[in-house]
Structure formats: C-alpha cells, structure tokens
Amino acid sequence: MGQTETHADTLVAPPTEPQPPTKPPNHTPANHAPLDNPPSGNAPPDDAPLDNDPPGGGTRRLLWHLGEMAIAMIAGMLLLGPVWDTAGALLGIAGALGRPEVAALVMATNMTIGMSVWMRYRAHGWDAVGEMAAAMYVPFLLLFAPMWAGLLDADAMLLGGHLLMVPAMVLVALRHRHATPVAVRRHPAVVALARRWPTGLALLMTVDMWVDPDLLSPWTMLVLPGAYLLIGVARRTLRGPGVLATQLLGLAGWVGLALVAVAAGGRTAGWLVAFGWLAHAGWDLAHHRTGRVVPRAFSEWCGVLDAAIAATMIFALLSIGG
C-alpha cells in the first residue's frame, strides 16, 4: 500500500502506476497560503482558497493580506456588535458594556474573532494568529493606565488604541511573512462562502438596518452613481466608447430622482428613494456581468448592499402604514 501524503487542504494517495510526465509544479512561496494558486485542471478543487493574491513583489502582497485582515476585522465588528448589544439588554449589563475599558476590549474581541477566522482560512499558524490577536488587545491595555490617571479621556484612548494597532499589525505580519503555511481542511461550503465575501460583507453591513429599519434621505442616492464615476476615474476605465456617457446619464437619472423625491416629501419620497436604491442594484448587476468600470467584487458588494437597503426601506414604509 502506498503511503498517504498530507497536503495543506486535502489528503492525496499517490498513484500506484507510472504516470505520464507533467509540468513541474509551481512551488508555493513561503509567505503564501498553501493553495492560493489552485492546481492545474479544468476547475479548482472545492477546498481551494480564493485565488485573489495580487501579482507583484512581497510588499504589495503584504499590503494585500493586511487589507484582507482589516476587512475581516470590520466584518467581525459588524456581525458581533449587535450580539453584544442584545446580550447586554437581555442580561441587564448594558451599562457595564458601555464603560470605556469594557467597550474597548469588546471591540478588540470582535476584531480578533473576525481576523482569526480569516487567518486560519488563509492557512496561518496559531502562533501568528495569537500574536495578531495580541496586536488587537495590547494597544488598548497600554492606554488604560493613562486614562485612569486622567491624562486621556475615553475618546482619546479608543482613538490611540486604533492608531497603535496599525504598526502592531504590520510588525506581526512582517515577522511571519516567511512562515510555512500549515495544513488546513476546508469544507466546500466554507470555500463557497469565502468566494462570495463581497455578498457577506454587504449583508453584515445591513444587519442593524434589518433590526431597526429606517428611511434614508433622497440625497443619499447621489452616492450611487458618484462612486462609479470616482472609481472609473481612478482606474481609468471610462475611456471606452460610450462608457463615460453611460455613467453621466446614470448620474443625471439619479440626480433627477433625488430632486423629485425632495419635492414630493413624505411617504412618496420614501418610495422613490427605495426605488432608486433598488434600481441601482440592477445597475450593479449589469456592470458585474460586463466587468466594466468597477471591479466585479465592488459591483457584487454594491448590488447586494443596494438591494438590502431598498428592502429595509420598503419594510419601514410598510411598517409605518397610513
């Protein structure tokens, strides 16, 4: 019986018969997750991670991974923040959770959970995860004493903790940038969810809106076409035939809708704003299919966010009645 080789994400039994010669495998760089580049074939395996590392040198890759962790930390805060609020209300400890020291540690915990989950998905070792978790907590802990001594107020402590967190994260990332990836098993469902991270991030950002739906100002619709124009200018993707004209036409349409909503006021304005956000979800879908102007990850995130916001506004309008 042949021996079984353990790889980063799966167990593969070596063949017992000679195989035709194949191309030499691409060796994974030491600072990559084991399967950042999926094996050759018609389709990547179900347990392969996202192939979203940018080309380029180590500095760019380092910044990319730091950005990934920052998004994971934000996702942790968005997802777990309402959980703490609900638990505080049910257990009668909302006042204790509101103390500056406790609030800082709760925030660090939320960020650490989100960041740890993503780091393990990216095949980082537990030592790196633990040190990055320390980078979340230590900056706040260092500033508690100056706050208690009256040298800092609560806002300065929170701001300082976040500022100190950035170099702490960079130091940990630099320390482990050449670490050997660890073996990590990933369920196909987890991989599928990770590949749809823009959708997950958009849904997390609307959790509070589902809990407490409200109506947005008509002027918020100006953000929708404005974001596409700004990104298009930055990426220089407005140069194709008719591309800029299409974006300007969309801007004119949402500006006109906003003006009509402001003039109408009341529930009519609310329905117009909800329609504007829902219409932009269709705009996002069209750009996602063509891949023009903005990255597909942005159009996916924006489309889900727009649709969710429109749905919560419709729910708020139906709840108001009248």
Domain ranges of the chain: 58-194, 197-320
Residue 132 contacts residue 167 (beta carbons within 8 Å): no
Q: What is the pLDDT of residue 120?
A: 83
Q: Which amino acid is at 96?
A: A
Residue 223 has pLDDT above 50, yes or no: yes
User: CA-CA-CA-CA torsion for 148, 152, 155, 161, nearest 10 degrees?
Assistant: -90
The strand pairing partners of 12, in sequence order, are 5
User: CA-CA-CA-CA torsion for 39, 40, 45, 50, nearest 10 degrees?
Assistant: 60
The contacts of residue 27 (CB under 8 Å, 6+ apart) are none
Nearest to 133 by CA among 115, 120, 160, 121: 115
Supply φ then ψ for residue 12, to 5 degrees. Answer: -125, 125
Residue 231 contacts residue 294 (beta carbons within 8 Å): yes
Predicted model pTM: 0.57
Residue 37 has pLDDT above 80, yes or no: no
Residue 322 has pLDDT above 60, yes or no: no
Q: What is the pLDDT of residue 219?
A: 93
Question: For the ranges 8-17, 53-62, 72-81, 107-116, which has the lowest average pLDDT?
Answer: 8-17
C-alpha separations of 36 from 55, 60, 63, 123, 127 in Å: 12, 15, 16, 10, 20
More confident call, 106 vs 183 = 106
Residue 175 contacts residue 118 (beta carbons within 8 Å): no
Residues 227-286: tens digit of each pLDDT: 999 999 999 999 888 999 999 999 999 999 999 999 998 999 999 999 999 999 999 999
**DSSP state string for 223-253:** HHHHHHHHHHHHHT---STTHHHHHHHHHHH
Residue 172 contacts residue 131 (beta carbons within 8 Å): yes
Residues 143-164: tens digit of each pLDDT: 999 999 999 899 999 999 999 9
Q: How many angstroms from the chain centroid is the CA of residue 67?
A: 9
| Rounded-to-integer distance, Cα 75 and Cα 82, Å | 12
Q: What is the pLDDT of residue 205?
A: 80
**Looking at residues 8-37, what average pLDDT do you find?**
45
With cut-offs at 50, 70 and 90, classify the pLDDT of residue 4.
very low
Supply φ then ψ for residue 5, to 5 degrees. Answer: -90, 135
| Neighbouring C-beta atoms of residue 233, cutoff 10 Å | 12
DSSP 42: S
Nearest to 258 by CA among 223, 229, 209: 223
Residue 2 has pLDDT above 50, yes or no: no
Q: What is the pLDDT of residue 46?
A: 43
| Rounded-to-integer distance, Cα 296 and Cα 285, Å | 9
Q: Which amino acid is at 236?
A: R
With cut-offs at 50, 70 and 90, classify the pLDDT of residue 186.
low
Q: What is the pLDDT of residue 179?
A: 67
User: pLDDT over 70 for what percent of the chain?
Assistant: 78
Greatest mean pLDDT among 66-75, 189-198, 289-298: 289-298
Residue 268 contacts residue 218 (beta carbons within 8 Å): no
Q: What is the pLDDT of residue 183?
A: 65
Supply φ then ψ for residue 321, to 5 degrees. Answer: 70, -175
Please give the structure tokens belonging to residue 93.
Answer: 């400890």
Q: What is the pLDDT of residue 19?
A: 52
| Neighbouring C-beta atoms of residue 133, cutoff 10 Å | 20
